[in-house]
Chain A
């Protein structure tokens, strides 16, 4: 299971950070979304799925 963010369309909204604070962060340089844990453990997955759903730019993906 791999988490990715397509930064080319990310608007830095931070919804991913709100949904899964242990998996995502925002870059201090530009506020864009960052994946900190690319291969999250099972207990983090509900939060990641929530982030996929909530990302307004629809650029968070989880490859199962």
Chain B
């Protein structure tokens, strides 16, 4: 295999707000290709469905970003996500030690029990949006507040601390502040969480995530606080951005939106297809790993020490499903890569699923005529947050 040309990973220059960076699809079309990340680190970009699954599940690829902090995503760099509890960059037993004790809080049946409460939170916010009247900004009225309230519920933040907790998380993750602002807010949030931790210790509960970590794991205080803040960071903006992106994707595809309106009870399958298609279409270099040995992927040898960036574009690979480049809400749920794959697959996936299903079903059932108030191309998108998304989505109904 001859060395492929090294070209920059195209970034921040999407020709369509829901499409890939310009030139990206052409660049990856011939198989694994070496590209430069925006921070000038060279990485192999892997884009086939099988190749991405292989990289994310083969233990010879490490998630450790030590010595190469610039391989973190931009959002991770801005936030400087805390270390002791950052399972995202750990491998093997060290990773399982932090991750496994949390699995109980995200069990499918636990989250099913939470659905009525999520529904209540969604209803309250849609009520408020209706009372305030059209036009409304879907992002500030629904996308941002709902996930943060749901996570507070999962963590077990009691009502008397909710207000401060919400205000702090909103300021931390709701806008694009500086590192210093983030750290100041993180310290304030840490203070609230410390109080919550003391209360959980006193009550001995394991019924919520903080109680579980305090009373039923060997995590030390640093790990525990950082895990709680990390979960907030990971679960807040992702879910809210994706709800916005899904809604915009549906507005762009009225024939598909009609399928959801016709049978909202299929919201579970519909969310999987929206996830597959939306992240696949956005493409770009997604998750980073580093080879610890020479490994063959898609016909090229990736050498020990080489960086690999897998792209979600793999969700559009025909190997995953037929007519993969099209949104088809009548498709059965397929094993897409929107939540990743392998041991690091999103811990919050089932929570995000429940939220997105309830949000989509309720929005389009209660407001069947909801539609964008301005054309998509005039909306403001943010590329610099943890994940990509629309800053505001003005709607009328």
Q: Of A14, A18, A53, which is within 8 A of B106 by CB?
A: A14
List A contacts of B343 (CB < 8 A).
9, 11, 56-57
Binary per-residue interface labels of chain A (8-52) against chain B in the complex, 1 for a CB within 8 Å, 0 otherwise: 010111110110000001101111100000000000000000100
B: which residues have CB within 8 A of A?
57, 96, 99-101, 103-109, 335, 340-343, 345, 349-350
- Distance in angstroms from B123 CB to nearest chain A CB is 25
A31 contacts B345, CB within 8 Å? Answer: no
- Distance in angstroms from B215 CB to nearest chain A CB is 15
Q: How many A-B residue pairs have CB under 8 A?
A: 57
- Taken together as a complex, chains A and B put the C-alpha atoms of A9 and B104 apart, in Å, by 16
- Distance in angstroms from B236 CB to nearest chain A CB is 21
- Distance in angstroms from B241 CB to nearest chain A CB is 22
A31 contacts B57, CB within 8 Å? Answer: no
A: which residues have CB within 8 A of B?
9, 11-15, 17-18, 25-26, 28-32, 50, 53-54, 56-58
A11 contacts B335, CB within 8 Å? Answer: no
A58-B57 contact in complex given A11-B96, A30-B100, C-beta closer than 8 Å: yes
Majority secondary structure of chain A interface residues (helix, strand, loop or mixed): loop
- Distance in angstroms from A60 CB to nearest chain B CB is 12
Which 4 pairs, one residue from A and one from B, show the smallest C-beta to C-beta distance? A12-B103, A31-B103, A56-B345, A31-B104
A13 contacts B349, CB within 8 Å? Answer: yes
A56-B340 contact in complex given A12-B107, A31-B106, A31-B107, C-beta closer than 8 Å: yes
- Taken together as a complex, chains A and B put the C-alpha atoms of A50 and B335 apart, in Å, by 8
- Distance in angstroms from B89 CB to nearest chain A CB is 16
A14 contacts B107, CB within 8 Å? Answer: yes
- Taken together as a complex, chains A and B put the C-alpha atoms of A29 and B101 apart, in Å, by 10
